[in-house]
Structure 1
Amino acid sequence: MEKIIHMVVFGALFVAILLQVTTAQTVHVVGEDTAWIIPLNGPTAYESWASDRTFKVGDTLVFNFNALNHGVQEVSRASFEGCNMDNAIGEALMTSPANFTLTPGEHYYICTDIKHCEAGQRLAITVAGTDTPEASDPTSSTAIDTIPQPSSSTIMFASFLLTLSSIALATFL
C-alpha cells in the first residue's frame, strides 16, 4: 500500500512538471544583445527584431537599458507615430529591466527620451489572442510556428523538480 502511495505522489509530481513546461510563456528580450538603445541602423532595427518573433498572451517583454539615458513608455499608436507621450498607457518604466506582460492586440513602446524615439528607439508589436485562427486552427500552416518555447528558467525549474522527484522516489522505494 505504501508503494502505491509513493507512486501516486511521483505520478502527480511528474504531471505537474509536464504541465509547467507545456504552459510556459516566452520571455522576449527586446533587441537581444544590443538591448534597448538608439539603434545603429535606425527605425528598422526593432521592427526587424520583432518580425522574427511571435508574441502571445502572457509572454513577457523585457527591456534592458541604461536608466541614466533611457526609459520605456507604452503609448497609443498616434503617440508612437508622432514620438510623443501624449497618450501614455500606464507609467513610464525608468528602472531596468522593465517588464511587460503581454495582452492581446497592438502594443507600442517608445523611449522616454523623445529624441531617442525619433532616432528609431521604438517598438510596435502585435500580440496574438487565444482566439486567433493561427492559435486555434490545427490545420493552419502557421500553428506550429506559434507554439511558445519554454524559457531557460522554466526548463531549469522543471529539471530541478524532476531531479527532486527522482530523489524522493529513490528514497521512498
Structure 2
Amino acid sequence: MATYDIGMMGFMVILSCFTCGLAKVYIVGDTAGWALSVDYTTWTGDKTFKVGDSLVFNYDSSHTVDEVSSGDYTTCSVGNSIASYNSGTSTIALNTTGNHYFICGVVGHCSGGMKLTVAVTGADGSPSAAPSSITADSPSTSTTLGNTLTPATTAAETRNIPAESSSSAISPFAAAIFSLVALLWELVLA
C-alpha cells in the first residue's frame, strides 16, 4: 500500500509541475502596486506575458485603472477609456495577443508615471495578428456625458482576489485534466 501512496503522490507532483506553467498571475508593480512611485517599464522588462495570464492591480481610492488605446496611452488622454476599474483590486485576464495599454485615469497621474504597456504573445510564445482586447472583472463604462457607471456587485462576488506576485496558476482546463487523470489513476489501481 505504501508503494501506491508514494507512486500516486509522485505522479501528482509531476503532473502539477506540468500544468503550473500554463498561466501566470502578475501583481502589477509587485509589492508597490499600482502607484505613482513605480517604474512600470522596468517592472515589465523581465516578464513574458502570454494569453491566459492575468494582471492584478492593487491600488488605493485615489487611483483608477483604465484600459486605453495606443494613442490615449501615448498622450495620457483620460476620458476615452475602453474599460475603467476603481475597486482597489482589479484582476484583468489577458485573453488576446498584442499590446494592452493601461493608465491611471486621474488627471496628471499618467504623466507622473502611472502607465503600463503589456505585450501579450500567444500561449506558445509567438505573437499573433489577433485584435488586442481583454476581458476583465466589473469594468465601468463611460456615458456620452462623461459620467462613469460602475456595474453593481454583490457581497458574494469574489472576482478581485489578490494572488502571489508572478505566481503560477492552473487554468480551468488543466485543472479538469489533472482531476480526470487522478480519477483514472484511482480506478486503474482499485
TM-score band (shorter)?
Answer: 0.5 to 0.7
Aligned residue in 2 for 1:129: 122
8 Å contact kept, 2:25–2:168: no
Aligned residue in 1 for 2:49: 55
* Letter in structure 2 aligned against 1:151: S
Secondary structure in structure 1 of the residue aligned to 2:102: strand
8 Å contact kept, 2:79–2:105: no
Normalization by structure 2: what TM-score? 0.57
Larger Rg computed on CA atoms: 1
Aligned residue in 2 for 1:65: 59
Aligned residue in 2 for 1:151: 167
Query: 1:123/1:20 Cα in 2 relative to 1: closer, same or farther (>3 Å)?
Result: same
Cα deviation code 1:149-172 (max 9, x no counterpart): x83665xxx9xx99xx7xxx7xx9
Query: 1:15/1:76 Cα in 2 relative to 1: closer, same or farther (>3 Å)?
Result: same
Offset at 1:120?
0.6
* Letter in structure 2 aligned against 1:98: S
Cα deviation code 1:43-99 (max 9, x no counterpart): xx1011011100000100111000x20110000000001111354212x10012111
2:109 & 2:85 partners in 1: Cα distance? 15
Normalization by structure 1: what TM-score? 0.62
Q: Which runs of 5+ in 2 are unaligned?
A: 128-165
RMSD: 3.8
Alignment of 1:76 with 2:31, yes or no, is no
Please list every run of at least 4 consecutive aligned residues from structure 1 whose deviation after the TM superposition is greater than 2 angstroms.
13-24, 130-134, 150-154
Q: How many residues align?
A: 134
8 Å contact kept, 1:79–1:86: no
Fraction of identical pairs, as percent = 32
Cα deviation code 1:87-141 (max 9, x no counterpart): 4212x1001211111121001000011211110111011001246548xxxxxxx
Q: Which runs of 5+ in 1 are unaligned?
A: 135-149
Alignment of 1:115 with 2:108, yes or no, is yes
* Letter in structure 2 aligned against 1:96: G
